[in-house]
Amino acid sequence: MDLSYPSLPLFCIFLFLLPSLISSQICQRNCGKETLKYPFGSGPGCGDPRFQPHVSCTQQKLTFTTHTGSYPVTSIDYTNQLIHISDPTMSTCSCTLPSKGFGLNWDAPFTFAESTIFALVDCAMNSSSICKSSGYNDDGNNSNLLCDQGSPICSLMYSCRPISTINLPISTCCVYTPVNLGPSFEMDLQKLQCPSYTGFYDFNDQQSDPEKWNYGIALKYKFSVTNDYPASCVACERSYGVCGYSDAYNSFICNCPNGINTTTDCFFTSSYNSAFRDGVAWLIYPVAWSLVWFFL
- 276 in any annotated domain: no
Residue 163: predicted pLDDT: 76
Please give the Cα distance from 99 to 88 (Å, whole number): 9
CB 213, CB 200: distance < 8 Å: yes
pLDDT by residue for the chain (296 residues), tens only, comes to 454 444 445 444 444 444 444 445 689 999 999 999 999 999 999 999 999 999 999 999 999 999 999 999 999 999 999 999 999 999 898 988 888 889 999 889 999 999 999 888 877 755 444 544 444 444 434 333 445 444 688 888 888 888 777 666 666 777 877 677 777 788 888 877 888 899 999 988 888 899 999 999 999 999 888 888 899 999 999 999 999 998 777 899 999 988 889 999 998 665 544 444 444 444 444 444 454 444 44
Please give the Cα distance from 2 to 8 (Å, whole number): 11
8 SS3 class: helix
Please give the Cα distance from 109 to 38 (Å, whole number): 14
DSSP notation for 199-216: EEEE-TT-TT-GGGSEES
> What is the count of structural domains for the chain?
1
Residue 258: predicted pLDDT: 83
- 269 in any annotated domain: no
Query: For 21-29, which contacts have Cβ atoms below 8 Å and span 24 or more sequence positions?
Result: 21/260, 21/261, 21/276, 22/259, 22/260, 22/261, 23/255, 23/259, 23/260, 23/261, 26/255, 26/257, 26/259, 27/242, 27/244, 27/255, 28/57, 28/242, 29/242
Please give the Cα distance from 222 to 111 (Å, whole number): 9
- 5 in any annotated domain: no
- 214 in any annotated domain: yes
**What amino acid occupies position 150?**
G
CB 30, CB 36: distance < 8 Å: yes
**What amino acid occupies position 51?**
F
Please give the Cα distance from 228 to 93 (Å, whole number): 39
- 45 in any annotated domain: no
Q: How is the beta sheet containing 214-215 ordered, strand by strand?
A: 145-146, 174-176, 117-121, 196-202, 214-215
CB 89, CB 225: distance < 8 Å: no
Non-local (6+) Cβ contacts of 201 within 8 A are 84, 113, 115, 116, 117, 214, 216, 217, 218
- 37 in any annotated domain: no
Helices and strands, number each (H, E), in the chain: 7, 16
What domain range is 163 assigned to? 86-221
- 229 in any annotated domain: no
- 8 in any annotated domain: no
Residue 74: predicted pLDDT: 96
